[in-house]
A and B are shown apart, each in its own frame.
Chain A
């Protein structure tokens, strides 16, 4: 164990998991049998097995989305993917297999070697799991349940059965169906009535083997009047030889509850990141998605909130950074299904080196929802002539009593800004890094400090050599 990890963990020794020594490895490709085998291996209740199978059948029948990036979606080879891996299998990879540019970025970000190996998919990192468990103990004193999803299903089958798939049914979309069929890992979090968790709860210190699978499934239930801030992800590039990441995240904010879910993800550029995130917000509840997307080949992700009760509020703040060969198709969806509900959407994107960022948003106010207010702001920054930005906002407004604002801007870095900064001693790349960090600042300031610092550093690295 590293000294740093030891310092963080202190004398707490009980959180360690022994490496699971199973050598089970599924063949590539998907079939009903693979789905049943996953469920059996996990010793799941029958209802979950049947749900998986049902989802599998739906996945097979369901067409690909006809939006986002169709050619890229069509190029996914579902038969070449391994749908279930024990974490011990990951140790079979060699550090030498991790691409040099990714190792280099680890070094530049100052990530300790042990963690680099985890991030590179070479080893499972048990140190961080230990930290995760010690945080969990504090939460337990408040009656908060914080488990990985598999354990959640084992220990709290009634709660899981009630809510699992209640926000995002398996039939929601092709990738939600896939996730429901083969999900593994993810977090299960229940916050009891009136409990306010002050510290942001992190899925892992930086990362946690169990929580960051390809098909993780997260379920958070904030009971009446409770408050939680959940943080997942990391700014270091997550290298995966498996090219498909398809997660499902369901949030339930009951009356007067407040959930903030913050994510920063930086996938390596071979990854398809196709994630469904949705929340139910009941009366006077608040749901905030803070969502940062860097890296990947194609990301399609539109955190959404269904405002189900009067006075509920949704906040979606997202940034996307699209570099060479990347397409970030991200945005937000808010459904005003009750009166006097409010929402704010802020989306910022940067495109560079031929990258493409798309904002895709849906704002819906039903005819019966009176007196709703919403503000949507989309800002795009394009750093060169080969990059691209699109905006696809959809508004379905069912009655005239609502107050809606929509602002969109596309800008380029001005020569005057660059000259001004360079006249103060910054190189062109450094100047670009400052401008880009400034552009993302409304997002960055919402993140816990360590994430903000890392994100800024990462963007500065990304700017190096960006100007030809």
Chain B
């Protein structure tokens, strides 16, 4: 029996447009601390739009509805304030920042999000521990952020950032794409570690991630709205049957 804990995210009738085109058409979703929610759906259904809109991407315009993060209206917060208040987005396609070393970037990011800036030695230890968990080589630290990284390397770096930033709401946008099975297992351990104390929204097409990161709730998104929700078994059903049966149901 799970005890329902603190509400982290409440989405009410969210409508989002990109360049004037409506993409999300009335999304409702509530996530509590300690819950893992999986969001599934076809390409173009609006899953990434939801993640980007929640993080505050300026190209995603909220035209209707409300979002509350830890009980406060999200719209009042700028992107960096969302991050500093514990929101994290693991990007489907992380941007590269040429000339900025991963080590410098991580230290500055952690310093910007935490109240206390990280101390040199303590931070190095923390960093080493997190990198070992993700089987990452030290050499990554002197490379430029995502510059020339393979798909798998980028995703690992996203999860490393998540471990260091310790978010309370983690939005994971197709973090499993581009990962082989070993990498997937490693990355999943990272997600599970964070998920204990955070709310997680995991966007994926595949059951194989959900075998490792067990969702409490699974949502099917079609044409910008969540049309069906269920437990972990729904993911199996979606993988087996696709989404057409829901189209009819909707």
Contact = CB atoms under 8 A, between A and B. Distances in A.
Contacts of A424: 83, 105, 109, 112-113, 161, 165
Nearest to A443: B99
A328 B124 CA distance: 41
A232 to B, nearest CB: 24
Contacts of A439: 98-99
A425 B84 contact: yes
A434 interface: yes
Contacts of A427: 78, 80
Contacts of A44: none
B246 interface: no
Interface in B79-97: 79-80, 82-84, 88-89, 91, 94-97
Nearest to A439: B99
Nearest to B84: A425
A351 B108 CA distance: 25
Contact of B112 (A419, A426, A438, A442): A426
Given A426-B109, A439-B98, A442-B99, A419 B144 contact: no
Contact of B79 (A423, A438, A440): A423
A415 B59 CA distance: 9
A425 B161 CA distance: 11
A427 B111 CA distance: 12
Interface in A399-439: 414-417, 419-428, 430, 434-435, 437-439
Interface string A148-164: 00000000000000000
A304 B105 CA distance: 36
Nearest to A445: B99
Given A415-B59, A434-B105, A422 B99 contact: no
A454 interface: no
A441 interface: yes
Contacts of B113: 424-425
Count chain A CB atoms within 10 A of each CB in B56, B98, B113, B144 and give the residue with the most. B98
Contact of A430 (B96, B112, B144): B112
A422 B108 contact: no
Count chain A CB atoms within 10 A of each CB in B55, B58, B100, B165 and give the residue with the most. B100
B57 interface: yes
Chain A binding surface SS class: helix
Contacts of B161: 424
Nearest to B100: A438
B97 A435 contact: yes
Contacts of A422: 56, 78-80, 83
Nearest to B114: A425
A79 B80 CA distance: 53
A419 B79 contact: yes
A425 B58 contact: no
Interface in B203-247: none
A441 B100 contact: yes
Contacts of B88: 423
A419 B57 contact: yes
A424 B112 CA distance: 8
A420 B105 contact: no
Contacts of A428: 80
Contacts of B97: 417, 420-421, 434-435, 438
Contact of A415 (B58, B89, B98): B58
Contacts of A438: 97-100, 144
B95 A420 contact: yes
B89 A423 contact: yes
A415 B19 CA distance: 14
Count chain B CB atoms within 10 A of each CB in A414, A422, A423, A439 and give the residue with the most. A423
A421 B91 CA distance: 11
Given A419-B57, A423-B79, A425-B84, A414 B109 contact: no
A419 B55 CA distance: 9
A423 B79 CA distance: 6
Interface string B23-52: 000000000000000000000000000000
A425 B98 contact: no
A434 B113 CA distance: 16
A420 B89 CA distance: 9
Contacts of B99: 437-442
Count chain A CB atoms within 10 A of each CB in B80, B84, B91 and give the residue with the most. B80
Which 5 A-B residue pairings sit nearest by Cβ, starting from the closest? A438-B99, A441-B99, A425-B112, A438-B100, A420-B95
Given A421-B97, A426-B108, A435-B100, 17 more contacts: A419-B79, A422-B78, A423-B82, A423-B83, A424-B83, A424-B112, A424-B113, A430-B112, A434-B97, A435-B97, A437-B99, A438-B98, A438-B99, A438-B100, A441-B98, A441-B144, A442-B99
17 contacts: A415-B58, A420-B95, A421-B97, A422-B56, A422-B79, A422-B80, A423-B55, A423-B82, A423-B89, A424-B112, A426-B80, A427-B78, A435-B100, A437-B99, A438-B98, A440-B99, A441-B98
Interface of B: 55-59, 78-80, 82-84, 88-89, 91, 94-100, 105, 108-109, 112-113, 144, 161, 165
Interface of A: 414-417, 419-428, 430, 434-435, 437-442
